[in-house]
Amino acid sequence: MAQATRPTSDVCNSSSDLASSESPVQIKGQTVRILTNEELEKLQRDQILVSHFKQQKLEKEAQKNWDLFYKRNTTKFFKDRHWTTREFEELKACKKFEAQKLVLLEAGCGVGNCIFPLLAEDANIFVYACDFSPRAVEFVKENPLFCSKRCKVFQCDLTSEELQVNIPADSVDVVTLIFVLSAIHPDKMHLSLENIYRVLKPGGIVLFRDYGLYDHAMLRFKSGNKLGENFYVRQDGTRSFFFSRELLVELFTGAGFQSLVNEYVMRETVNKKEGLCVPRVFLQSKFSKPE
Ligand SMILES: C[S@@+](CC[C@H](N)C(=O)[O-])C[C@H]1O[C@@H](n2cnc3c(N)ncnc32)[C@H](O)[C@@H]1O
């Protein structure tokens, strides 16, 4: 059943998104966005994949490309998330009582747009935060709101480095995974989820938000940028996957999680510069580690 609500803020890795404003209504539902004939034809025409050699190079240089992204954009690219956003509402709902202390892991934290508003608002929270990019981790540490008593930040490749080196097993209440899994090669996504699973408490939850299938960003890729099914590379070498509900559930349940919520969020964004109204699709989900 589709449901209309007010939007929360999202990060979008595209400079033109910065000149956009969102319509006040978003539709939540289980069904995939219906494409126009023109859009369908465009996707069907785009069958040529980036060469195997170039794909291997992109995988090898994934960390470098994200680090260069933060070198170019510093802390100015993504917007801060505040208490109006879904993650914060969900966190409040996780508490059995107001003063309960929660341990959170922000996996793929970037420069900390999610964690700093959170640390500022809630005194009863301890945050672990990690990112692939050493530069992003340094930006987090340099933020005036950073406090080593309430936050531990470290560099980590979620696909190959054990989170348990920095976080005790079975100790985290809530993991936020926001526009991160889409940046990871589909063959390695399960490794990140298994890694996260090991540090999550039984009964703990993962709050997931990322690009959904047929989001405008997917349809905007020009021919020559396709890496595989629903997987593309941007000009700067960073990559983006577009998730269907079905694939996401398969990935999470394959790593041992239970699915609690898994829905598309659709909304129209007005691109002021181009005077265009574009359809955005995100996937917003919640998974738990069985008790
Ligand atoms: C689009 S940004 C999102 C940042 C942040 N979650 C936010 O919402 O502002 C994606 C982030 O994922 C990180 N990332 C990509 N691959 C990763 C990996 N294998 N392990 C850890 N982080 C990764 C990138 O460095 C980048 O900071």
247: pLDDT strictly greater than 70: yes
Residue range 261-289, pLDDT digits in tens: 999 999 988 777 777 888 999 999 999 99
> What's the rounded Cα separation, in Å, for the pair 26 and 63?
34
Question: Which residue has the least CA distance to atom 3 on ligand 1?
Answer: 179
**What's phi and psi for 129, nearest 5 deg?**
-140, 135
Please choose from 66, 79, 181, 194 the residue to mutate so as to test ligand 1's pocket, defined by most ligand atoms within 8 A of CB: 66
- Ligand 1, residue 78: give the atom nearest the CA: 9
Residue 133 DSSP symbol: -
Would you state the pLDDT for residue 76? 67
Helix extents (H) in the chain:
37-45, 52-60, 62-73, 86-94, 115-121, 134-142, 189-199, 216-220, 245-254
Q: How confident is the model at residue 6 (pLDDT cuts 50, 70, 90)?
A: very low
The model carries a pTM of 0.90
What number is the average pLDDT over the span 93-109?
A: 88
Distance from CA of residue 171 to its chain's centroid? 22
Residue 119 and residue 110: Cα distance in Å, rounded?
16
Report the CATH fold assignment for 10-288.
Answer: Rossmann fold (3.40.50)
pLDDT at 16: 36
Which of these, 158, 149, 150, 155, lies nearest to 176 by C-alpha position?
158
CA 63 to ligand 1 centroid distance, Å: 10
Gap between the Cα atoms of 96 and 85, Å rounded: 20
CA of 130 to the centre of ligand 1 (A): 9
Please list the residues that pair with 106 across neighbouring strands: 129, 176
The position carrying tokens 């879904």 is 86
- The pLDDT value given to residue 91: 78
Cβ 70 under 6 angstroms from ligand 1: no
**Average of pLDDT values for 41-51?**
95
Atom 21 of ligand 1: nearest residue by CA position: 132
Q: CA-to-CA distance for 188 and 132, rounded, in angstroms?
A: 14
Residue 3 has pLDDT above 60, yes or no: no
CB atoms within 10 A of CB 96: 5
Q: For position 81, what pLDDT does the model report? A: 63
Q: Which of 59, 131, 195 to mutate to test the pocket of ligand 1 (most atoms within 8 A of CB)?
A: 131
Mean pLDDT of the chain: 88
Q: 8 in ligand 1 pocket by Cβ < 6 Å?
A: no
**Nearest Cα to Cα of residue 197 among 110, 274, 288, 273:** 288
**Is the confidence at residue 198, as pLDDT, over 80?**
yes
* Ligand 1 centroid distance, CA of 37 (Å): 34
For the chain, domain boundaries: 10-288
Residue 290 confidence (pLDDT) above 90: yes
pLDDT > 70: what percent of the chain?
87
H/E element, 149: none
Show Cβ contacts of residue 66 under 8 Å, excluding neighbours closer than 6 positions. Answer: 131, 132, 133, 136, 183, 238
Query: Does the CB atom of residue 13 touch ligand 1 within 6 A?
Result: yes
Using CA positions, which residue lies closest to atom 8 of ligand 1? Answer: 178
Rg (CA), the chain: 18
- What pLDDT, on the 0 to 100 scale, is given for residue 94? 79
